[in-house]
Protein backbone atom coordinates (compact mmCIF):
# COMPACT_ATOMS: atom_id res chain seq x y z
CA UNK A 1 0.00 0.00 0.00
CA UNK A 2 1.32 3.45 -0.88
CA UNK A 3 2.25 5.40 2.23
CA UNK A 4 3.78 8.73 3.16
CA UNK A 5 6.32 9.30 5.90
CA UNK A 6 7.61 12.42 7.62
CA UNK A 7 11.39 12.61 7.65
CA UNK A 8 13.33 15.18 9.64
CA UNK A 9 17.03 15.85 9.23
CA UNK A 10 17.53 16.97 12.82
CA UNK A 11 19.61 20.03 13.81
CA UNK A 12 22.79 17.93 14.16
CA UNK A 13 22.38 16.64 10.61
CA UNK A 14 21.68 20.10 9.19
CA UNK A 15 24.66 21.62 11.09
CA UNK A 16 26.95 18.90 9.77
CA UNK A 17 25.82 19.47 6.20
CA UNK A 18 24.21 16.04 5.87
CA UNK A 19 20.84 17.07 4.44
CA UNK A 20 21.85 16.26 0.87
CA UNK A 21 23.38 12.91 1.86
CA UNK A 22 20.24 11.86 3.75
CA UNK A 23 17.88 12.91 0.95
CA UNK A 24 20.16 11.24 -1.60
CA UNK A 25 19.95 7.91 0.18
CA UNK A 26 16.15 8.03 0.36
CA UNK A 27 15.80 9.01 -3.30
CA UNK A 28 18.36 6.39 -4.35
CA UNK A 29 16.28 3.74 -2.59
CA UNK A 30 13.45 4.75 -4.93
CA UNK A 31 11.07 6.76 -2.76
CA UNK A 32 9.46 9.92 -4.10
CA UNK A 33 9.99 13.33 -2.53
CA UNK A 34 6.66 15.15 -2.23
CA UNK A 35 7.59 18.05 0.11
CA UNK A 36 10.80 19.50 1.54
CA UNK A 37 11.56 22.64 3.52
CA UNK A 38 14.14 23.95 5.97
CA UNK A 39 12.18 24.91 9.09
CA UNK A 40 12.82 26.22 12.59
CA UNK A 41 10.66 24.16 14.96
CA UNK A 42 8.69 25.82 17.74
CA UNK A 43 8.06 24.45 21.24
CA UNK A 44 4.42 24.01 20.31
CA UNK A 45 5.23 21.91 17.22
CA UNK A 46 7.63 19.75 19.23
CA UNK A 47 5.12 19.25 22.06
CA UNK A 48 2.76 17.78 19.48
CA UNK A 49 5.45 15.89 17.57
CA UNK A 50 6.94 14.27 20.69
CA UNK A 51 3.74 13.97 22.78
CA UNK A 52 4.36 10.23 23.30
CA UNK A 53 7.68 11.00 25.04
CA UNK A 54 6.42 13.68 27.45
CA UNK A 55 7.59 12.90 30.99
CA UNK A 56 10.50 10.68 29.92
CA UNK A 57 13.97 11.66 31.19
CA UNK A 58 15.20 12.58 27.72
CA UNK A 59 12.13 14.68 26.80
CA UNK A 60 13.37 18.16 27.84
CA UNK A 61 16.90 17.71 26.41
CA UNK A 62 15.29 16.35 23.24
CA UNK A 63 13.10 19.44 22.85
CA UNK A 64 16.06 21.77 23.52
CA UNK A 65 18.16 19.88 20.98
CA UNK A 66 15.39 20.06 18.37
CA UNK A 67 15.10 23.84 18.98
CA UNK A 68 18.88 24.34 18.63
CA UNK A 69 18.76 25.02 14.90
CA UNK A 70 16.75 24.42 11.76
CA UNK A 71 15.62 21.00 10.63
CA UNK A 72 15.05 19.82 7.09
CA UNK A 73 11.49 18.49 7.01
CA UNK A 74 10.52 16.23 4.11
CA UNK A 75 7.68 13.98 3.08
CA UNK A 76 8.46 10.86 1.05
CA UNK A 77 5.99 8.55 -0.64
CA UNK A 78 6.08 4.92 -1.78
CA UNK A 79 5.06 1.37 -1.01
CA UNK A 80 5.85 0.63 2.67
CA UNK A 81 7.95 3.79 2.91
CA UNK A 82 7.42 4.06 6.68
CA UNK A 83 9.13 0.72 7.34
CA UNK A 84 11.56 1.32 4.48
CA UNK A 85 12.83 4.62 5.81
CA UNK A 86 13.22 3.26 9.35
CA UNK A 87 15.38 0.48 7.90
CA UNK A 88 17.50 3.09 6.07
CA UNK A 89 17.80 5.15 9.28
CA UNK A 90 18.94 2.27 11.50
CA UNK A 91 18.68 1.85 15.26
CA UNK A 92 17.93 4.85 17.48
CA UNK A 93 21.34 4.64 19.18
CA UNK A 94 23.91 5.55 16.52
CA UNK A 95 26.70 3.70 18.32
CA UNK A 96 25.05 0.36 17.60
CA UNK A 97 23.12 1.25 14.42
CA UNK A 98 24.41 -1.05 11.71
CA UNK A 99 26.91 0.20 9.15
CA UNK A 100 25.05 0.81 5.91
CA UNK A 101 22.35 2.78 7.71
CA UNK A 102 22.20 6.57 7.99
CA UNK A 103 22.76 6.52 11.75
CA UNK A 104 25.30 3.70 11.55
CA UNK A 105 27.39 5.35 8.85
CA UNK A 106 27.09 8.99 9.89
CA UNK A 107 26.27 9.09 13.60
CA UNK A 108 28.05 8.48 16.90
CA UNK A 109 27.66 9.16 20.62
CA UNK A 110 28.80 12.70 21.42
CA UNK A 111 28.47 12.27 25.21
CA UNK A 112 25.48 14.63 25.35
CA UNK A 113 22.25 14.50 27.36
CA UNK A 114 20.22 13.18 24.45
CA UNK A 115 21.00 10.98 21.51
CA UNK A 116 21.73 13.12 18.47
CA UNK A 117 20.99 10.69 15.70
CA UNK A 118 20.64 12.81 12.55
CA UNK A 119 17.16 11.77 11.41
CA UNK A 120 13.59 11.16 12.46
CA UNK A 121 11.09 9.02 10.59
CA UNK A 122 7.43 8.32 11.37
CA UNK A 123 6.85 4.93 13.00
CA UNK A 124 3.29 4.14 11.81
CA UNK A 125 0.58 5.39 9.44
CA UNK A 126 -1.14 7.05 12.37
CA UNK A 127 2.08 8.86 13.34
CA UNK A 128 2.83 9.90 9.78
CA UNK A 129 -0.63 11.48 9.32
CA UNK A 130 -0.28 13.31 12.62
CA UNK A 131 3.31 14.44 11.95
CA UNK A 132 2.71 15.55 8.36
CA UNK A 133 -0.15 17.75 9.63
CA UNK A 134 2.27 19.38 12.12
CA UNK A 135 5.12 20.03 9.67
CA UNK A 136 3.20 20.56 6.39
CA UNK A 137 -0.29 21.72 7.38
CA UNK A 138 -1.14 22.72 3.81
CA UNK A 139 -0.11 19.46 2.14
CA UNK A 140 -2.97 17.68 0.41
Q: Other CB atoms closer than 10 Å to residue 30's CB: what's the count?
A: 11
Interface with ligand RTP in residues 98-137 (CB under 6 A) = 114-115, 117, 120-121, 123
Residues 52-81 binding ligand RTP (CB under 6 A) are 58, 62
Among 32, 40, 92, 95, binds ligand RTP (CB under 6 A): 92
Opening angle at CA 5, ends 125 and 3, nearest 5: 60
The DSSP element (H or E) to which 7 belongs, if any, is strand 2-9
Contact by Cβ (8 Å): 5, 122: yes
10 is in an annotated binding site: yes
> Toward ligand RTP, which CB reaches closer, 115 or 140?
115
Which residues, 6 or more positions from 117, have their beta carbon under 8 angstroms from its beta carbon? 10, 12, 92, 93, 94, 97, 103, 107
Q: Is 120 a catalytic residue?
A: yes
One character per residue 3-42, x = contact with ligand RTP (rule: CB under 6 A): ----------------------------------------
Task: Please report, in range form, the residues annotated as the binding site.
Answer: 10, 58, 86, 92, 103, 117
Amino acid sequence: MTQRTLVLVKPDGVRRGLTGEVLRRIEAKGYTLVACELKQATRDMLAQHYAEHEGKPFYEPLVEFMLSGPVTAAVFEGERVIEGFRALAGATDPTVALPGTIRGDLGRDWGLKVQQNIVHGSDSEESSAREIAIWFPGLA
